[in-house]
Amino acid sequence: MKVENETQKDEILDESGQTFLEFVLLLATMVLLSFTLMNGFNKGISELWKSYIQAIANPTDTNIDYQ
């Protein structure tokens, strides 16, 4: 009985693969955070450029289509 408990305890405390799992979780978190920040930053920049273009082209009668 004591041997079984020690074997189960050793299996629970076995840390093989923990470093890899932590790396994968950290990588996934960083990728998600990077895409979120890039998307927000790019949207802000595009809105800024749109306002500049509208301010410059406002006096003309041409219609500007934004993509």
Asked whether the predicted pLDDT for residue 5 surpasses 60, the reply is yes
Q: Measure CA 26 to chain center.
A: 11
Q: Print the SS3 string covering 25-65.
A: HHHHHHHHHHHHHHHHHHHHHHHHHHHHHHHHHCCCCCCCC
Distance CA 3, CA 20 (A): 30
pLDDT in tens, 8-34: 666 677 778 899 999 999 999 999 999
Split at pLDDT 50, 70, 90, the class of 43 is confident
Distance CA 11, CA 7 (A): 6
Query: What tokens appear for 7 in the block?
Result: 């074997």
pLDDT at 50: 84
